[in-house]
Amino acid sequence: MAINRTPVLKRCRSLDLDPTFLGYDKKSNRTLARAGKKMSEYGLQLREKQKAKFIYGVLEKPFRNYYEKADRMKGMTGENLMVMLESRLDNVIFRMGFARTRKEARQVVGHKHVLVNGKCINIPSYLIKAGDVISLSDKAKELQRYKSILEVTGGRIVPEWIDVDTDNFKGTVKNLPTREMIDVPVNEMLIVELYSK
């Protein structure tokens, strides 16, 4: 599997992105060498796409598939794309506070620690539907790892579209998020413009 090994803060700097959106509380004090330079329209569109891919940890081919699927759905393509990315299982685990970062959430899912409606799912890109109940497996609930993760993520705001019961490591997706509920700093219209060329 392809892995991007670029240091997170360096990548955040190049994309002009705050690391807190990825779950990291570090800050970089350096500035970009090209900070004052004007960017072309294509450059801006490409940066927005790279930002969305980086935040959600999606590679180019699956990202393009999401776009094509979003394009076929009813409504605005950009909004459909963001809702689809937001309803990935690894992202929902991150939003519930069962992982410090999206990368860690992906690992939690890959290690078969997550149950969706009582069934073990180990596919990070699994799309969640409204009404799905997501919980950690009984074995995972006993691990000290998740107790310490909850101590770190306890202060994090859980989105309104998810209901979380931290004592039982369980959550319910009340409904799929709308674009207004997604606090990711991505201008999806630029991504649509880039792909529709």
**Domain map of the chain by residue range?**
8-85+180-195, 88-176
The answer to whether the predicted template modeling score (pTM) of the entire model surpasses 0.85 is yes
Instruction: Specify the CATH number of the domain 8-85+180-195.
Output: 1.10.1050.10
Q: By C-alpha distance, which of 155, 136, 147, 125 is closest to 23?
A: 155
Task: List pLDDT tens digits, range 85-102.
Answer: 999 999 999 999 888 888
N-terminal to C-terminal alpha carbon distance within the chain: 29
pLDDT tens digits, one per residue of 62-80: 999 999 999 999 989 999 9
Sheet hosting strand 170-173, strand order edge to edge: 119-120, 114-116, 133-136, 170-173, 162-165
CATH code, 88-176 = 3.10.290.10
Q: Do domains 8-85+180-195 and 88-176 have the same CATH topology?
A: no
